[in-house]
Amino acid sequence: METTAGKPSFLRNLIARVLLFGVLIIIVRFAYIVTIAGESCNLGDFCFFSLPENFNFVIPAAGTGASAVNKAVRPAGLSQGDLYTSKDWIKAVQFYSSVFQDLMSEGYLSPGFKSLCVETPNGQDVYALKEIGVSDSVGIFKKAFKPLVISSKTSRLPFDDNTFDFVFSGKGGLDKASRPVDLASEIARTLKPEGFVVVHVRAKDTYSFNSFLDLFNSCMLIKSHNIDGYDPSMPYIREIVLQKQAGNFGRPVKESGGSSVNKCSVPEHKRVLIQNAEPLIKEEPLKPWITLKRNIKNIKYLSSMADISFKNRYVYVDVGARSYGSSIGSWFKKLYPKQNRTFEVYAIEADKAFHGEYKLKKGVTLLPYAAWVKNETLTFEINRDPGKEVKDKGRGMGRIQPAKLSAKTDENFDGEVDEIQGFDFAEWLKNTVTEKDFVVMKMDVEGTEFDLIPRLFKTGAICLIDEIFLECHYNRWQRCCPGQRSPKYEKTYGQCLKLFTSLRDSGVLVHQWW
């Protein structure tokens, strides 16, 4: 009897365990789909108990722009008490509803518009559009938040050209994009001619505001004003309204290759920055090794005076770099204010004694040539301090001469002479950076600046540079020999001052370097 009764009990236990195991698999699968994959559930995902995507829930009104009872589309796969019912989510929806109602009253938005919200992780702005009647609306973010937001990369939106009548970028959109130029280009591509772009940014100064406008060369500025934000991290927001034009509109683009641009147009916001920079030293210093070195402490960096967020790339070019520690490692990496941006670094150094160490430096591209006015073979003088090793600190600054002019004929010269390859620095710069990049340069080329700077002006490449730290070499007073000037250079301090002044007049923030 015991054997006969035990078999049904055993079978029941086995079946119960199998059913429990199946339920466990479904629960684990459901949790993975919702929390890890970030997608909604369907039968294929084994989410048999998920709610339909058109399930509605109620948000009580809490301020201007919200109706007495707001019916919302429930993002599928989220349970009660999750993000969509939080006070912050509701507050954001109400804020965007108010914003969009104002835009609608001004004619920049209409219920019949096909609308896109970019970089919206939780879809509050998309829901707000639907709430006020713009039903054909969708958002994009790297992770989907269905049914309001689909997954998409900002570098390539999954929409055809001229798809949308209205595109909105709120908090965290263009303001925090790693490559805002890519996102701006995609917005302009998918926007219909005469369509509107509305962006909320921090753009606190005129430099960043104009950098932002440069992202949208095909659009015309309609309106820019400040509004109160809803987030304590952004209490005030600049709302910018743009309208897409048929073709480029109004904002000239500086050439980055091809034909020459002989003169830069200097907008007022750049003039203001230069006026706020440290003044140039007008009188020749009697002790330049003290005065010029001390002046470095007074330098006002461009990136400490303005927001550089809306630039495409960030580039540092060290012309006459010498060793890595000479200025890249000891100054630029440590002291230059980068605003948490990653800079591409180019080291231009002709002296082969310094080339080896750059092989071990990540993030630095070495150009083992001499910056020059054209591509040709040059004679490179390497001075040597008497009594010291040629390598390391005893190795004096190198100086280049046009083709085959040998310093060996100079009885006073004590050093090495090498033949090196010079390259057209201005053309390289035009082929490497654009007007949408933020370009910082340090130049210490032992007098060759009087060849390179005029060439940059002639080709228009000077317009691509935002900030230069320039050491100008002239027949300065000598520390060793009072009353004597350096016989190494023929230029005067007045000629150096004229060089600095011409750069600032062209909108380039130049600093007297030492």
For 419-454, how does the pLDDT look when each residue is reduced to its tens digit (9 = 90+)?
A: 889 999 999 999 999 989 999 999 999 999 999 999
Cβ atoms of 118 and 167 within 8 Å: the answer is yes
Query: What number of CA atoms fall less than 13 Å from residue 59's CA on the CB side?
Result: 28
What is d(CA 237, CA 246) in angstroms, rounded to the nearest whole number?
Answer: 29
How many helices, marked H, and strands, marked E, lie in the chain? 13, 19
What is d(CA 218, CA 13) in angstroms, rounded to the nearest whole number?
Answer: 71
Locate the domains of the chain by residue range: 87-244, 268-383+396-405+414-512
pLDDT at 315: 98
pLDDT band at 32 (very low <50, low <70, confident <90, very high): low
Cβ atoms of 93 and 70 within 8 Å: the answer is yes
DSSP-assigned beta bridge partners for residue 315: 344, 439
Same fold, 87-244 and 268-383+396-405+414-512: yes
What is d(CA 152, CA 186) in angstroms, rounded to the nearest whole number?
Answer: 12
Residues 6+ apart with CB under 8 A from 172: 119, 121
Cite the beta strand spans of 187-324 per DSSP E.
191-201, 219-231, 234-244, 314-319
What is d(CA 352, CA 477) in angstroms, rounded to the nearest whole number?
Answer: 30
Residues 6+ apart with CB under 8 A from 232: none
pTM over 0.85? The answer is no
Greater confidence (9 vs 259) lies with 9
Greater confidence (362 vs 9) lies with 362
Residues 6+ apart with CB under 8 A from 159: 116, 190
**Model confidence over 196-225: pLDDT tens digits?**
999 998 767 888 898 899 999 899 999 999
Cβ atoms of 310 and 212 within 8 Å: the answer is yes
**Model confidence over 311-333: pLDDT tens digits?**
989 999 999 999 999 999 999 99
Domain 87-244 falls in which CATH fold?
Rossmann fold (3.40.50)
**Among the residues of 134-205, which ranges form H helices?**
180-190
Greater confidence (62 vs 322) lies with 322
Looking at every residue in the chain, the average pLDDT score rounds to 81
Handedness of CA 4, 9, 15, 21 (dihedral sign): negative
pLDDT at 64: 39
SS3 assignment, position 230 = strand
Domain 268-383+396-405+414-512 falls in which CATH fold?
Rossmann fold (3.40.50)
Number of neighbouring beta carbons within 10 Å of residue 244: 23
What is d(CA 84, CA 78) in angstroms, rounded to the nearest whole number?
Answer: 8
Asked if residue 262 has pLDDT above 90, the reply is no
